[in-house]
Structure 1
Amino acid sequence: MSSNDLTLPGAPEADFNHLLRANLERVFNERDPARRAAAVADLYVVDPVMYEPTAIVTGRAAICEVAGRLLDQFGLTFAFHADGVAVGHHGLGTLRWHAGPGEEVAVTGTDAAQIVDRRISRLWVLLDPSVR
């Protein structure tokens, strides 16, 4: 554990809202691969891990690839939108979100992130069950 680890008692808290909203906007809504990679470098630790419902994604390049593939798969109007303000403490933050084409909501969920040294170290993508 580094001396700057945000889980240490008395360490200043990260700006959970800024980090998790920037992750949605600058990574998962960014269609330009170079800009997405720059955002991941800013927001994530060197060796991050993302836990999706069906996969474990390791490394910055792999996270960029997953985000790009999602955007390509669902079309030009597909986007993620934050619902409310991210909350967190002691190195753990959460942000509710919804996504879909245009104004349509196709999926909802929550991102839960472990924050280390003011960057995302681990990200869990939690999808809500479909309501039909």
Structure 2
Amino acid sequence: MSIPEPDYDHLLRANLARVFNERDADRRAQAIQELFVADPVMYEPDGVVTGREAISAVAGKLLDQFGPTFRFTPSGRGIGHHGLGVLRWEAGPEGGPIAVTGSDAAQIVDGRIAQLWVLLNEPVVQ
């Protein structure tokens, strides 16, 4: 008997919209509670973040650092199988130039994000 696959696109898009684009700390905390397991781990290029509160703090700090119009936007559909999902994204000020691009890769356990890897693309030199 096979276990049904989660909706990788929906889950990873919700993570971008409801966690990494959410400026209200209470709404962000509620989203993390719904989208992540009890003890998630996020791997960033510069370190490892453990726990829901710590992930929320990282998201809030990013939004504060880059200004009020900074947004993460999905690029294409999230894909996955066997508990691993990937979604490409780009980020920058709304209506402005793209500042950074990357992908989120997530281990999904029981329909929630257990581990999240934030992968940044090399900057494009023009």
User: Shorter-chain TM-score: which interval?
Assistant: over 0.9
Q: What is the CA deviation profile of residues 14-55 of structure 1, one whole-angstrom value per residue up to 9, with x for unaligned ones? A: 110010000000000000000000000000000000000001
Identity across matched positions, percent = 65
Moved runs in structure 1, 4+ residues, more than 6 A? none
Q: Distance in 1 between matches of 2:16 and 2:117?
A: 13
2:51 maps to 59
2:88 maps to 96
Letter of the 1:114 counterpart: Q
Q: TM-score, normalised on structure 1? A: 0.93
Structure 1, unaligned stretches of length 5 or more?
1-8
Shift of 1:102: 1.6
Number of residue equivalences: 124
The answer on 1:36 being equivalent to 2:36 is: no
C-alpha RMSD over aligned residues: 0.7
Letter of the 1:90 counterpart: H
Q: Distance in 2 between matches of 1:131 and 1:99?
A: 14
Q: What is the CA deviation profile of residues 55-82 of structure 1, one whole-angstrom value per residue up to 9, with x for unaligned ones? A: 1000000000000000000000100000
Q: TM-score, normalised on structure 2? A: 0.97
Structure 2, unaligned stretches of length 5 or more?
none
1:6 maps to none
SS for the counterpart of 1:20 is: helix
Q: Distance in 2 between matches of 1:73 and 1:128?
A: 20
